[in-house]
A and B are shown apart, each in its own frame.
Chain A
Amino acid sequence: MAVLEVRSLGKVYASHEVNIPSVEALKNINLTVNKGEFISIIGPSGCGKSTLFGVIGGLNECTSGEILIKGEKVRGPHPSIGMVFQEESAFPWLTCSENVEFGLKMMGVDKKERRAKSKEMIELVGLSEFENHYPGELSGGMRQRVAIARTLVMDPEIILMDEPFGALDEQTRVILGEELLRIWERIRATILFITHSISESVMLSDRIHVMSCRPGTFKKTIDVDIPRPRSSSTISTQRFGEITDQIWKELKEETTKAMKIRPSECVWADIHE
């Protein structure tokens, strides 16, 4: 059975002012994610990727359609969903381990159990030496590992990631991508990964949904049949190149279209998210 199902989802940012038109951000999105899958969603900037992420995560409401988790209709943030954001979200006033423990502490889990769980997760993301460091003392890549560990420690069945490595440099991205695969294979969770990097999506995913420009909808679905385990050397295989090409062809058209959208509309939609 599908862990996550999205049925004909739509989202319109209604305008309350006469001279500003309403914006249809998402239109008829259908998605079925099975347990343990790694799914990527790729699209041009401003196509509604983050809106979709927010709606599935329960941060924003959709205006049509529905979301089902394990067959049950949901509204609002669901306990089996964990989210990792693109922006820096590790709290600078807490140490690494305090950051990771934060969610458990809020749930009232006792200190001993919190410690044990956070230790395990920090080890998993490779930050054991930095447990007692504050985020300000770590690099951007390390801070994002903290954010990932903070989500993982809640033991979510589905992990939503919104361009988690988007703010990092290329090399760090590739390394963290590999790390993420290793972690994913260990914890056997389901990952829904939003990105605008083609190579990242091909490298990581079982399946890639290419989104069209606004209103965002799934234009094409591509299965990535490159065998696992994959590593950075996968990039140089022929199949990797073929799939990358295929996605780029789909994306190129959308990106060109997206560039013609008036910037004012994009800004406006941003504010409302």
Chain B
Amino acid sequence: MNRAHKITITKWSILVGAAGCLEIIARAGMIRRSTLTPVSEMFITLWKFFATGEIPVRFLKESSIAGNFFITFGEILLSFSFAVLIGLPIGILLWKFKALARILNPYLVSYYAIPVFALYPLIVGLFGIGILSITFMGWLFAIVAVIINTATGFEEVNKRIYPKVGKSLRLSRSKIFLWIYFPAATPYIFTGLKLGFIYSIIGVIASEFILSTKGLGYLVRFSYSAFETEIMYASMLLIVIIAVLINGALMRMEAWVYGRQGR
């Protein structure tokens, strides 16, 4: 068995071991069932969600699994799309206008030090409880990652040589931007998009705990307060699985973007 092999096995055994420990702790009764359910049961409950298409909790406004999933996913996509649509141009403006960048820089670098979730009463006041306020929170959380990475991406383009190549081919300024600067900045821009997407997920799920009556985050909170521990864990598991899958897809895309450039 070679080294890489051993590393792979160790990597996976951490996950399996942790799950196994939780399973044993729960089964042995070291922690009450109402606090922790065995991991195997989490999977079984989750499986039941999908088998029946329903979440078996009383008084739940949206009880179909697909309904909850699409609401949450829709909010994530919406907040992410707006983060990109507004963040990309702002990032480009920051790169084009250095004075603007210098003015906004202190705000941007300290942005993530501020816990935006603490602002939730304000958001409720502005947008009420529902899709709009959640999407806004996801957007608020994601946009600065997109802005900063876009600006950095263009900043890092090799200014000594690429503009000369464009000029020597007699390209217009807009063509130089579109065909040289933009692709040159792509790896950074992509990093911004990846982070932005992850921040959108965090922002949306976390906001659903407090600002929602539907969706996967709300499902966790509702089942928690309804003492439906099994359903709560199954919902948490579902969120984790979705997040891991999305992250895996983004990492693959990133490897493709960077790999092409041999970085």
Contact = CB atoms under 8 A, between A and B. Distances in A.
A87 interface: yes
Given A59-B168, A77-B167, A93 B261 contact: yes
Majority secondary structure of chain B interface residues (helix, strand, loop or mixed) = helix
Contacts of A85: 161, 164-165
Contacts of B9: none
Contacts of A13: none
A54 B186 CA distance: 28
Majority secondary structure of chain A interface residues (helix, strand, loop or mixed) = loop
A93 B184 CA distance: 7
B171 A106 contact: yes
Contacts of B262: 92, 134-137
A126 to B, nearest CB: 20
Contact of B168 (A57, A87, A92, A137): A57
Interface stretch (B98-106, B139-147, B175-183): B175-183
A83 B158 CA distance: 17
Interface residues of A, number: 26
Nearest to A150: B165
Contact of A59 (B162, B167, B175): B167
A103 interface: yes
Interface in B166-222: 167-171, 175, 179-180, 183-184, 186
A88 interface: yes
Contact of B169 (A87, A103, A135): A103
Contacts of B168: 57-59, 77, 81-83
Interface residues of B, number: 21
B161 A79 contact: no
A273 to B, nearest CB: 9
B261 A89 contact: no
Contacts of A76: 170
A154 interface: yes
A87 B168 CA distance: 14
Residue of B158, B162, B180, B262 with highest tally of chain A CB at under 10 A: B262
Contact of A77 (B162, B170, B179, B183): B170
B175 A89 contact: no
Contact of A106 (B175, B261, B263): B175
A106 B263 CA distance: 26
A91 B182 CA distance: 12
Cβ-closest 8 pairs across A and B:
A136-B262, A83-B168, A87-B161, A92-B261, A93-B183, A103-B169, A77-B170, A89-B161
Given A59-B167, A135-B262, 18 more contacts: A54-B164, A57-B168, A58-B167, A58-B168, A77-B168, A85-B165, A87-B158, A91-B162, A91-B180, A92-B260, A92-B261, A93-B260, A102-B169, A106-B169, A106-B171, A134-B261, A136-B261, A137-B262
